[in-house]
Amino acid sequence: MRLLLVEDEPTLRASLRTALQDAGYVIDEADNGRDAHFLGDTENFDAVVLDLGLPVMDGLTVLKRWRSAGRTMPVLILTARDNWHEKVAGIDAGADDYLTKPFHMEELLARLRALIRRANGQASAVLQCGLLMLDTRTSRVTLDGQAVPLTSHEYKVLEYLLHRPHKVVSRTELTEHIYAQDFERDSNTIEVFVGRLRKKLPSTTIETVRGMGYRLVPPP
């Protein structure tokens, strides 16, 4: 899952980056509203963490512009303490959730998981496809109750597919959500990860839809 992190305070941005990367997200960053607006307008993110007090363009304006341009990614805003006006304005501008500074990293991670689930029509923290289960809280994957050990890239591919059951996901889309913008993106590496997943799961679990991409099929 790919996140946009928008925060102008360097120390907080660095600690957020570390915590989010440790949780398995790939991160693009902005430290001002103009860059944030551009990234959110041109790239596809699974969620955005948006500080409201930003240089160049404030977070509320950024959010309003995204929404009026039809950008629907889930956005969690970070607001200053004791500023309830900001929360109301943020939610009215199209924010999906908010956190008041200072906050606990665990709470941010839990809220992000919930936002991403709901954006994909999933209510439960455990993603399931037949006997295949992925617990987004523990990053644990099981098949018929047996643990399936995965590398972080294999996990990211499977998690993305499990968030979109029955849908065909193209290699380009997978690549976009598994690598940050700065990384060299090569959709051939996705084939490698899918190949490895097919060795660890029943081979029919990830179906290739010719010319279109991949689809998850409940394992037998």
Q: How many residues bind Ca ion (CB under 5 A)?
A: 3
Which of residues 53 and 130 has its CB atom nearest to Ca ion in the complex?
53
Cα separation, 95 vs 86, whole angstroms = 11
Name the residue with tokens 């380009």: 172
CB of 85 to Ca ion, least distance (A): 16
Which residues between 5 and 24 bind Ca ion (CB under 5 A)? Answer: 8
Instruction: Give yes or no for residue 86 binding Ca ion (CB under 5 A).
Output: no
Nearest to Ca ion by Cβ — which residue? 53
Nearer CB in complex with Ca ion: 93/148: 93
CA dist 108 → 5, 44, 118, 153, 217 (Å): 12, 21, 15, 23, 32
Which of 182, 165, 146 lies closest to 218 in space, CA to CA?
Answer: 165
Strand 47-51 versus strand 75-79 pairing type: parallel
Q: How far apart are CA 62 and CA 40, in angstroms?
A: 9
Range in contact with Ca ion (rule: CB under 5 A) among 4-12, 60-68, 104-112, 137-145: 4-12
Binding pattern for the stretch 27-56 against Ca ion, x by CB under 5 A and - elsewhere? ------------------------x-x---
Residue showing tokens 């969620």:
47
Q: Minimum distance from CB of 161 to Ca ion (Å)?
A: 36
**Which positions touch Ca ion (CB under 5 A)?**
8, 51, 53
